[in-house]
Amino acid sequence: MEAGTETRTAYLAVYDTFADWETGHTTAHLARNGFTVRTVGPTTDPVTTMAGLRIQPDLALTDLRPEGADLLILTGADLWDSGDELAPFARTARVFLDAGVPVAAICGATAGLAREGLLDERAHTSAVPRYLAATGYRGSAHYRDADAVTDGDLITAGPTEPVAFAREVFGRLGVYEGKRLDAWYRLYQRSDVSAYDVLQGSS
């Protein structure tokens, strides 16, 4: 993002059993490119990630609105598959999508969106097809065997694809584009040193 442009805001959903590794590339590079990243929890009480790290949410889910937001990120967590505790986050994703605000979901969060019916008519991916099929959703015809998928304002990825997930987010938001987006992916996914010069603008 060029100097002088208005700050954009990405909201990162955080909750107990949050999968630490899945959104690090995304949030770090958004922050380095002019975005403010704010965390939103079930409440403002601290949550504990899979790694045992404690995160103090910036705001509670009930206070989150799509107005003024540029992205909602939903990461994986054991809680997506152990009950309905995180269902309010999937319902909030519907509100964001209805408002035309992008939503990016990875790993278990894709199952939450499936249960909410948000994948029934949109191209998407996840860990494996049978993982989503177990939710009883009706969108199996739209499943794509890909590292990450963007369909309009919805981005999805499986748990082993945090770099591809970030690539799709950056492309959707215009953080990196064209050759620079490809170079970013090649550098962080494949350790392709030739991509470094492209990112630095010297190639």
Residue 91 lies in a domain: yes
107 is catalytic: yes
Pairing of strands 35-41, 54-55: unpaired
Q: Which CATH number goes with the domain that contains 120? A: 3.40.50.880
Average pLDDT, the chain: 95
Residue 54 lies in a domain: yes
Cα separation, 133 vs 189, whole angstroms = 29
Domain boundaries, position 163: 8-176
Residue 48 lies in a domain: yes
Total structural domains within the chain: 1
pLDDT value at residue 200:
86
Residue 125 lies in a domain: yes
Catalytic residue among 37, 64, 107, 154: 107
* pLDDT tens by residue, 124-164: 999 999 999 999 999 999 999 999 999 999 999 999 999 99
Residue 69 lies in a domain: yes
pLDDT value at residue 5:
53
**Backbone phi and psi for residue 155, each to the nearest 5 degrees, phi listed first:** -120, 135
pLDDT value at residue 7:
82
Entry field: residues in the chain: 203
Residue 187 lies in a domain: no
CB-CB contact of 138 with 122 (8 Å): no
Cα separation, 137 vs 17, whole angstroms = 24
Three-state SS letters, 96-165: HHHCCCCEEEECHHHHHHHHCCCCCCCCECCCCHHHHHCCCCCCHHHECCCCEEEECCEEEECCCCHHHH
pLDDT under 50 in the chain at which residues? Answer: 1-4, 202-203
pLDDT value at residue 4:
44
